[in-house]
Amino acid sequence: MEDLVESILDYVRADYTDYAIMINGEWGSGKTYFWNNKIRNKIDSLQLNGKSYTTIYMSLYGISNLEDISKKIFIETTQLMDKNMRKYMNATGQQSIPEYAKTGLDMANLFGVTQNGDKVDYGKFFSTDDKVLCFDDLERANVDVIDILGYINNFVEHDHIKTIIICNEKELSTKLKSTNLEMKTFIATYLLDKEGDLSKTDKPMVEKIQDKIEYVFDKANDYERIKEKLIGETFEYAPEFNYIINGILMRYESNSDLIRFLRENTNYIISTFNKSGTRNLRILKHALNDFKKVYEMVNKYYPNTNYRILQTMLIFTIAISFEIKAGKITKDKFVNIADNEEYKSILVSSRVLMDNRQFYIKEFDNNYYYNFKSEYRFFKFIEIYVRTRIFDMKTFKSNMEVIINTVDTEKLPGYKRLLTEEYWKISDDKFPDVIEEVLEDVKNGKVKLLDTVKLFIYFTYFIKKGLIEYDIKTIRGIFFNGMNVAALTSEYYENPDEEIERIIIGEKTQEVNEVLDHFYMINRALKDKMYMEKADNIFKCIPMKMEMFYERFDKECMDVPIFKYYDPYQMFQRISCASNEDIVSIKEKLLDRADKYTKEIEPEMKNIKQLKQIIDDYIKGKDMGIKIVMLKEFSKDLGTILEKYK
Which whole number is the average pLDDT over 416-441? Answer: 82
Query: Could you tell me if 219 and 138 are in contact, meaning their C-beta atoms sit under 8 angstroms apart?
Result: no
The whole-number average pLDDT for the span 196-200 is 74
Question: Is residue 115's pLDDT more than 50?
Answer: no
Q: Is 501 helix (H, G, I), strand (E, B) or coil?
A: helix
Residue 80 has pLDDT above 70, yes or no: no
- How much is the pLDDT for 82? 45
Nearest CA to 74 among 107, 119, 121? 107
C-alpha 16/C-alpha 45 separation (Å) is: 19
* 407 Rama sector, left if φ>0, alpha if ψ -120 to 50, beta otherwise: alpha
- pLDDT tens profile 144-180: 888 888 888 888 888 888 999 999 887 776 666 556 5
Annotate 313-380 with DSSP letters as a single string: HHHHHHHHHHHHHTTSS-GGGTTT--SHHHHHHHHHHHHHS--GGGHHHHHHHHHHTTT---S----H
Burial of 546 (0-12, 13-18, 19+ CB in 10 A): middle
Beta bridge partners of 164: 21, 134
- pLDDT score of 149: 87
| DSSP secondary structure code for residue 1 in this structure | -
Digit-coded pLDDT (tens) for 304-325:
898 999 999 999 999 999 998 8
- pLDDT for residue 117: 47
User: What's the pTM value of the predicted model, to 2 decimals?
Assistant: 0.44
- C-alpha distances out from residue 321 to 223, 259, 427, 613, Å: 35, 20, 37, 59
DSSP 158: I
| Residue 79 confidence (pLDDT) above 50 | no
Please report, for the chain, the start and end positions of each structural domain, with discontinuous segments joined by +.
Answer: 2-175, 241-408, 416-528, 542-643
Q: What is the mean pLDDT of residues 41-54?
A: 84
Q: Give rounded-to-5 percent helix, strand, coil for the chain.
A: 65, 5, 30
364-403: per-residue pLDDT in tens? 988 999 888 887 899 999 999 999 999 999 999 999 988 8
548: confidence class by pLDDT, cuts 50, 70, 90? very high
Cα separation, 148 vs 135, whole angstroms: 10
8 A C-beta contact, residue 464 and residue 506 = no
Backbone angles phi, psi at 55, to 5 degrees: -95, 140
441 burial type by CB count under 10 A (0-12 exposed, 13-18 middle, 19+ buried): buried
Q: Is the dihedral of CA 603, 606, 610, 616 positive or negative?
A: positive
Query: Which of helix, strand or coil describes residue 513?
Result: helix
Contact 147, 222 (CB under 8 A): no
- Pairing assessment for the beta strands 20-24 and 162-167 based on DSSP bridges: parallel
Least confident interval from 174-178, 273-277, 559-563, 597-601: 174-178
Angle at 625 between CA 621 and CA 629, to 5 degrees: 80
- pLDDT bin (cut points 50, 70, 90) of residue 409 is low
What amino acid is encoded at 216 in this protein?
Answer: V
- Least confident stretch, 67-71, 115-119, 144-148, 567-571: 115-119
Rounded to the nearest angstrom, the gap between the alpha carbon of residue 175 and the centroid of all alpha carbons in its chain is 25
Element (H, E) at 476: helix 472-486
Please answer whether residues 334 and 435 qualify as being in contact, where contact means their C-beta atoms are separated by less than 8 angstroms: no
Which region among 43-47, 90-94, 144-148, 335-339 has the lowest average model confidence (pLDDT)? 90-94
Q: Is 440 exposed, middle or buried (0-12, 13-18, 19+ CB in 10 A)?
A: middle
Residues 508, 516 contacting (CB under 8 angstroms)? yes
Phi, psi angle pair for 133, to nearest 5°: -90, 140
The whole-angstrom separation of Cα 502 and Cα 517 is 17
Using pLDDT thresholds of 50, 70 and 90, give the confidence band for residue 362.
confident
Assigned fold of 2-175: Rossmann fold (3.40.50)
H/E run at residue 71: helix 66-77
Q: What's the whole-number average pLDDT of the chain?
A: 82
Amino acid in the structure at residue 201:
T
Angstrom distance (rounded) from CA 483 to CA 504: 19
pLDDT tens by residue, 83-108: 455 566 556 655 445 556 656 555 56
Strands 162-167, 131-136: pairing is parallel
Instruction: With H, G, I as helix, E, B as strand and everything else as coil, classify residue 132.
Output: strand
pLDDT score of 95: 45
